[in-house]
Amino acid sequence: MLGDPRVAKLASILVNHSCQVKKNDTVLISSSSELGKPLVIECFKEVLKAGGHPFVNVNIEETVNEFYSHAKKHQLEYTPKHKIYEAKSMDCYISIAAPHNKKALSMVDPEMAAVRGKALSKIRDIIVNEKRWVICNFPTNALAQEADMSLEEYKKFLYGATNIDWKKMDVFQKKLKKVLDKGSTVRIVGKDTDLTMSIKGRKGIKCVGERNMPDGEVFMSPIEDSAEGHIFYEMPAIYQGREVTGIRLEFKKGKVVKATADKNEKFLNTMLNTDKGARFLGELGVAVNYGIKKFTSDILFDEKIGGTIHLAVGKSYESAGGKNKSAIHWDMIKDLRQGGALYIDGKVIQKNGKFKI
């Protein structure tokens, strides 16, 4: 029986476009569960075709809950040395999310998760800042259910967002990047929102499927102490399996000084208290993928919805000139499609979700 040709096409994009695997590159292909096997195998083959050396890591999803159920303090704080060695040794990382259950971590103590996040942050830093990497979903019933779709509908949705002409996407992003790079002040206006920040001297980074798949944004790291004002997020923000809704943040001198939410407010503030950098912005992302229109409770897709922007509290990207350090990086999405606007130095560049550039 022949496999789904869409899987093979996605694998080719991940290996050849996203990671640009070349001869003798070492490539770790990891999946969050055995459900990602079809895409793992296709990526494995593509790496071999490119002359690279593929390695595979498939997790057993249930072990994560077992860890948090039984781990003692010294185990939570432990940083595995072999994972540091692995991170330094590999050239490329392909990470595939194929969950059985999207809520698997919903009962985990957030303080325990924060401690574990700190312990693993060195490994993530090596991968994110020094290596070529890409993350991608593989269609599972859990992801389809979370998106309120059948599995077949979700497959069509996913491949329709990933298996596209990324060169065409790049053309528009170059225009947007040029506008952002010349700008000094960003103002975001919308429902219960009026927030300004400085981007002076910072450069935008185009995202055309080289890190996230699907993709479609230009992001920057704001000046760390510059955010002033308030923002309301219409869309739920999900972190470590917890859904937080109705988030309202107030900023002064770059720092979140007040954070409220309609649901899981305690979890929100626990995460914001992870470390000193957790209450500062690490990222401003402007989404441009108009092929993604619906919120699916999956940040990989949701932060790319055309007509939205997202702000991440916590760690910034060194590649974008960011200096904020934190063990967390939590994206929160602001919908500008109904009554919202995005200004650069007083000039509107997007209104009601449509660009004016």
Residue 1 has pLDDT above 50, yes or no: no
Same domain, 151 and 257: no
How many other C-beta atoms can be found within 10 angstroms of the C-beta atom of residue 347? 12
pLDDT digits (tens, 9 = 90+) for 196-221: 999 999 999 999 998 889 999 999 99
Same domain, 174 and 323: yes
For residues 275-284, average pLDDT: 97
Among 139, 162, 185, the domain boundary falls at: 162
Same domain, 183 and 307: yes
Of 305, 308, 270, nearest to 114 (Cα)?
Answer: 270
Same domain, 254 and 351: yes
Residue-number span of the structural domain to which 138 is assigned: 5-162
Among 129, 162, 195, the domain boundary falls at: 162
**Tally of structural domains, the chain:** 2
Instruction: Give residue 2's pLDDT.
Output: 63
Same domain, 61 and 184: no
CA dist 35 and 58 (Å) reads 9
Identify how many contiguous H helices and E strands the chain contains and give both numbers: 11, 20
pLDDT digits (tens, 9 = 90+) for 57-104: 999 988 888 999 999 999 999 999 999 999 999 999 999 999 998 777
What CATH number did the domain enclosing 93 receive? 3.40.1830.10
Same domain, 44 and 141: yes
The residue among 97 and 294 whose pLDDT is bigger is: 97
Q: Is 76 helix (H, G, I), strand (E, B) or coil?
A: helix
Among 162, 180, 206, the domain boundary falls at: 162
CA dist 44 and 241 (Å) reads 29
Same domain, 105 and 138: yes
304 and 137 Cβ atoms separated by less than 8 Å: no
| pTM score, whole prediction | 0.75
Same domain, 116 and 67: yes
Instruction: Give residue 106's pLDDT.
Output: 74
Same domain, 178 and 128: no
Same domain, 107 and 210: no
pLDDT digits (tens, 9 = 90+) for 24-35: 999 999 999 999
Q: How many CA atoms lie within 13 A of 235 on its CB side?
A: 27
Instruction: Give residue 146's pLDDT.
Output: 87
DSSP string, 228-290: EEEEE-SS-EEETTEEEBS-EEEEETTEEEEEE-SB-HHHHHHHHTSSGGGGBEEEEEEE-BT
Same domain, 290 and 224: yes
pLDDT digits (tens, 9 = 90+) for 16-57: 999 999 999 999 999 999 999 999 999 999 999 999 999 999
- Measured at the CA of 335, the angle between CA 217 and CA 356, to 5 degrees, comes to 60
Same domain, 150 and 188: no
